[in-house]
Chains A and B, each alone.
Chain A
């Protein structure tokens, strides 16, 4: 037992090293970073964080990111739920083809779409809005959400639906008060993945925004190139992007292992 646990411990250490370095660097003043190697911050400073929390272009980046990620998660789950139900319960004309076509969109190289997306969203007047990014991210999050939810719903016996109808439930009431609570682990897992993929994506988010809805990731790339090489600031901004992810994982940690095992994921 003891010997076996060495493997995960070494792996986690490997995962933590670059993160440690990022966090450590965010507390160092620029001079110290450029002067040479130091394992721990010699002069501990919160300057970088101070800059981020006082400069609107920085902190609005975070707000923008969280806004469109949440919006995307809500939209993706809301439309994926009925669709996944249809795929798991009914046969209909073209169902298999449709399902496969949905999945192919998960395979589409995002770089392929960057430019056409820009033109499309400019044409419909959504350019530089949170909604534009939220909708664009649907292209890979909806197929994923449908896929995951369909797996979970397939595990729920059809008798549940039938019993509810016999008991006089209308479909919307059954769906909202019985069915969704039954697969809430699946909804949790799907929401987790939607959040994750929307949060980490940069190319589309950057392409579809200019000022008003600019994500934090884009603000960072600008810092890296324009304002010289402000490594401390960059590291601090990067460190702050870890936090929403960490919070989300913490909340779904129990679902992840169980959820994966239950669904066909």
Chain B
């Protein structure tokens, strides 16, 4: 068991100072803006909760939020099962493991704007590999700069391309931690492949999958650079997710008050969903162990 030791605070102090410097001061600035109105030249007027009311009631925010949830939901539905399926079919030993790990990690290490630019070039209707193949080889009309559906498909494909490997890596790590004896016992017990997955592999992957889903939720909910470079939020507002909308308001229109209020609401939603998800998963885990103590 851990020992009680208040001196441990000294160990944590550098972290605390650095993160607090980066988190608290800007956060205070944001809170400060969120309750005031400014017309430039450093004049501020108290506005109270006006901005919050305005944002929460604005259709623009509702739409952006809706798009955001749709996007995050879709990529989770695609990336998690796909990642698990790929992890299950990956080799367990030999040179193949290294090859898979290195090649699969590659997309995650590309700067996000390069990812956007790369997919832009890839998807250009007449000169991109994807655009050309769809339009001229398969005869499917495709132009993500004009067609909102095409834009969505491209943004989703890009995110799947970019981040499925994270799920693969985590799920794979969960899988390799299962001792051989489990598979042997299952064979002897006459378990089907499905039963092996359901009762051995899935439970062992549960923890890492929780982390994968949490990380994917947080990062996709904050997504900005890739879709911004790829579609600029268009066509129209079709791919304007929360962050893109926020930057448009803050830097484009310089409406600092509403932008700050929106930031806080947005942050609160992310926190709330992550927390809910985290406690739900944890509670289930706890229930597994509670029964011993009864």
Q: Tell me the A residues contacting B by CB distance below 8 Å.
A: 4-8, 11-12, 14-22, 25, 33-34, 36-37, 39, 75, 78-80, 82-83, 85-93, 95, 98, 102, 104-117, 119-120, 135-136, 138-139, 142-143, 146, 196, 199-203, 216-217, 220-221, 224, 231, 234-235, 238, 241-242, 244-246, 248-250, 253-254, 256-257, 259-261, 264-265
Chain B contact patch, size range: 35 or more
Chain A min CB distance to B274 (Å): 6
Considering only residues 246-284 of chain B, those with a C-beta below 8 Å from chain A are 246-247, 250-251, 256, 259, 263-264, 266-267, 270-271, 274
What is the CA–CA distance of A4 and B242 in the complex, to the nearest angstrom? Answer: 40
Q: Are B224 and A5 in contact (CB under 8 A)?
A: no
Is B290 interfacial (CB-CB < 8 Å)? Answer: no
Contact B19 A253 (CB under 8 A): no
> Are B3's CB and A89's CB within 8 A?
yes
Determine whether the beta carbon of A21 is less than 8 Å from that of B30.
no
Q: Using Cβ atoms and an 8 Å threshold, which residues of chain A touch B98?
A: 253-254
B12 touches A110 (CB 8 A): no
Partner of A34, one of B85, B113, B127, B165: B127
The one of B97, B126, B271 in contact with A107, judged by C-beta atoms closer than 8 angstroms, is B271
A90 in contact with B8 (CB, 8 Å): yes
Is B105 in contact with A80, judged by CB distance below 8 angstroms?
no
A-B pairs under 8 A by CB, number:
277
Tell me which residues across on chain A come within 8 A of B102, comparing CB atoms.
246, 249-250, 253
Query: Which listed residue (A16, A92, A139, A220) contacts B5, Cβ 8 A?
Result: A92
| Interface check B140, CB cutoff 8 A | no
With A200-B110, A250-B102 as given contacts, are A234 and B117 in contact (CB-CB < 8 Å)? yes
Q: Are A111 and B15 in contact (CB under 8 A)?
A: no
In angstroms, how far is the closest chain B Cβ from the Cβ of A102? 6
Known: A15-B165, A106-B218, A111-B246. A90 touches B2 (CB 8 A): yes
Q: Is the CB of B26 within 8 A of A256?
A: no
Contact check, B86 vs A7: say whether CB atoms are below 8 A apart.
yes
B289 CB to nearest chain A CB (Å): 16
Residue among A11, A104, A234, A250 facing the most chain B CB atoms (10 A cut-off): A11
A8 & B274 in contact (Cβ 8 Å cutoff): no
Which A-chain residue is minimally distant from B109 (CB atoms)? A245
* B173 & A17 in contact (Cβ 8 Å cutoff): no
**Once the chains are docked, how many angstroms separate the CA of A83 from the CA of B10?**
8
Q: How near does chain A come to B93, taking the closest CB pair, in angstroms?
A: 10
Interface centre among A98, A112, A217, A249 (most CB of B within 10 A): A112
Contact among B12, B25, B211, B267 with A108 in the assembled complex (CB-CB below 8 Å): B267
Add 6 more A-B contacts to A7-B89, A11-B168, A90-B8 (CB < 8 A).
Answer: A5-B89, A19-B107, A79-B14, A91-B5, A93-B6, A115-B251
Q: Determine if B177 and A261 form an interchain contact, defined as CB atoms under 8 angstroms apart.
A: yes
Question: Which residues in chain B, 163-216, are within 8 Å of chain A measured between CB atoms?
Answer: 164-165, 168-170, 172-174, 176-177, 207-208, 211
Alpha-carbon distance between A109 and B4 when the two chains are bound, in angstroms: 35
The residue on B at minimum CB distance from A201 is: B112
Q: Which of B53-61, B128-136, B143-151 contacts A (4 or more CB under 8 A)?
A: B128-136
Question: How far, in angstroms, from A223 to B208 measured CA to CA in the complex?
Answer: 40
The residues of A that contact B77 with a CB separation of less than 8 Å are: none
- Is the pair B12, A86 in contact by a Cβ cutoff of 8 Å? yes
- CA gap between A117 and B246 in the complex, in Å: 15
**Cα distance, A202 to B132, chains bound together (Å):** 29
CB pair B169 A256 closer than 8 Å: yes
Contacts of B242 in A (CB 8 A): 109
- Give Cα A115 to B256, complex, Å: 9
Segment 222-256 of B: residues with Cβ below 8 Å from A:
222, 224-225, 229, 242-244, 246-247, 250-251, 256
CB–CB B4/A112 < 8 A:
no
The reply to whether A138 and B22 contact each other, CB–CB distance below 8 Å, is yes
Complex CA–CA separation, A4 to B100 (angstroms) = 14
Hey, what's the 0/1 contact readout for B1-45 against A, CB within 8 Å counting as 1? 011111111011011101101110111011000000000000000
Q: Report the separation of the CA atoms of residues A8 and B126 in the bound assembly, to the nearest whole angstrom.
A: 30
Report B-chain residues with C-beta under 8 Å of the C-beta of A34: 127
Closest chain B residue, CB of each to CB of A17: B129
